[in-house]
Structures are given as structure tokens and as C-alpha cells.
């Protein structure tokens, strides 16, 4: 008598497998830094064969580039989260909300500060970070414009992206010196962010009567 074939379990989708790999890489980077990161260590942490990691990521830099994109997705989400329009007095209130949300991401995700703020010298990651910063700058400008009618800004400079990068320089200095973003240097980073934006946004910039949809 022929026994019926046992149904095969459906294989995990590629997207789900990539998520598992990135979660393993994030955990290793947070715990051990770059020295503890390899295709084999990621595979071991993810409990999958190294060939499965190589199937999606040919090298550690390629894996870190994808992890950078994953981390920036969290930053995008914080810029797209609602802001209470009635609680804003001037644009600096919005600036502080944005920076505090980003600081919270760095505080909750050590891998984020390692990838974006630490001095690792990985050109692929640095280039990916810069490209994502341009996208974040556009989202940030749209957020500010939703609550405040912005003046004409230069076409040849991404003002909001540059403000964010300047603030990150201060946070990176803190990570280099202290291994984390200290409250003192967090405040300094926010001051740098505001000071640069203040070159283009007047302090008396009027708030919209209602936020744009």
C-alpha cells in the first residue's frame, strides 16, 4: 500500500529570511562590534547555513549596507509619525521633537550608533548612509513645511540633510569619546542642528493655522 506523501512545510519567503539575517547581524554588531561580524557568525546566530546568508549577501559590507537601509527605515518612520500641531510654538519645537526621536533610536539600537556614528571606514556603508540622509532630509523638509510655511531654500544645498549630518558629527564625537551619546553632547548636537537651520529659517517663522495633510 502506497503511503500518502507527507506535505512539505512551506519554505520561508526571501523577505522573511532576509529579516532573520539582518536581525542576527544587528544583534552581533550591538554586542561585539565589527570585530565579531562575519558571514559565518551571522549564520550561526540566525541558525541557518552560511550558504543561505551568502545567497542574499555576498560579503559583510553588502550585509552592512542592507542593515544601514533597515536602520534608516526606522528613522523614516520617526519622521512620518504624527506631531501635535497645537503644541508647537515655533519651528525649534518641531526641531527638538525630531532630534529627540532620532536620539531615542540611537539609544535603543546600539547597532544604529555603531553603523552610522562610529568610525569604521567602510565606504559602502558611508555611501549608503549619505544617500539615505538625502532622503531623510527631504522627509524632514516636508515635515517642517507641513507645520510652517518655509521660505525659499537653496537648490544646490540640501539644507535639512546637511543640518542632520552636522548634528550627527557631534553625536559621533560622543560615541568616539564615551561609547554612547551623552546627555551633554546630545544637547550640543541639537544646538548645532538648530543653529544651522537658523541660517535659513527665521525665528519668527509663522506657524500654519492647521497642519497640511
User: Could you tell me the residue ranges of all domains in the chain?
Assistant: 11-58, 61-197
Q: What is the CATH number of domain 11-58?
A: 1.10.10.60
Indicate the pTM of the whole model. 0.84
**Cα dihedral across residues 27, 33, 39, 43: positive or negative:** negative
Residues 120-130 have pLDDT tens digits of 777 777 887 88
Residues 87-105 have pLDDT tens digits of 999 999 999 999 999 999 9
**How many C-beta atoms surround the C-beta of residue 126 within 10 A?**
15
**How many C-beta atoms surround the C-beta of residue 87 within 10 A?**
9
CA-based angle 103:176:159, to the nearest 5?
A: 50
Query: In this prediction, what percent of the chain has a pLDDT beyond 70?
Result: 94
Write down the residue that cell numbers 539575517 correspond to. Answer: 21
CA-based angle 205:208:210, to the nearest 5?
A: 160
Helices 183-197 and 159-178, packing angle to 10 deg:
160
Residues 13-20 have a mean pLDDT of 89
Specify the pLDDT at position 11: 52
Rounded CA-CA distance 10/156 in Å is 51
Residues 35-55 have pLDDT tens digits of 888 999 999 999 999 999 999
Q: Which has more pLDDT, 62 or 124?
A: 62
Amino acid at each position: 500500500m502506497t503511503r500518502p506523501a507527507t506535505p512539505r512545510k512551506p519554505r520561508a519567503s526571501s523577505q522573511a529570511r532576509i529579516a532573520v539575517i539582518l536581525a542576527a547581524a544587528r544583534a552581533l554588531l550591538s554586542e561585539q562590534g565589527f570585530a565579531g561580524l562575519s558571514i559565518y557568525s551571522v549564520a550561526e546566530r540566525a541558525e541557518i547555513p552560511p550558504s543561505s546568508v551568502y545567497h542574499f549577501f555576498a560579503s559583510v559590507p553588502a550585509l552592512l549596507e542592507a542593515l544601514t537601509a533597515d536602520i534608516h527605515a526606522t528613522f523614516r518612520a520617526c519622521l512620518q509619525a504624527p506631531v501635535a500641531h497645537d503644541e508647537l510654538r515655533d519651528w525649534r519645537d518641531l526641531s527638538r521633537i525630531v532630534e529627540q526621536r532620532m536620539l531615542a533610536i540611537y539609544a535603543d539600537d546600539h547597532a544604529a550608533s555603531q553603523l552610522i556614528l562610529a568610525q569604521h571606514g567602510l565606504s559602502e556603508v558611508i555611501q549608503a548612509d549619505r544617500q539615505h540622509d538625502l532622503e531623510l532630509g527631504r522627509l524632514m523638509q516636508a515635515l517642517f513645511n507641513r507645520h510652517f510655511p518655509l521660505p525659499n531654500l537653496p537648490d544646490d544645498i540640501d539644507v535639512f540633510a546637511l543640518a542632520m549630518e552636522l548634528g550627527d558629527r557631534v553625536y559621533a564625537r560622543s560615541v568616539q569619546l564615551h561609547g554612547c551619546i551623552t546627555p551633554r553632547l546630545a544637547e550640543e548636537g541639537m544646538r548645532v542642528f538648530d543653529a544651522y537651520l537658523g541660517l535659513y529659517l527665521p525665528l519668527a517663522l509663522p506657524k500654519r493655522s492647521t497642519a497640511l495633510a
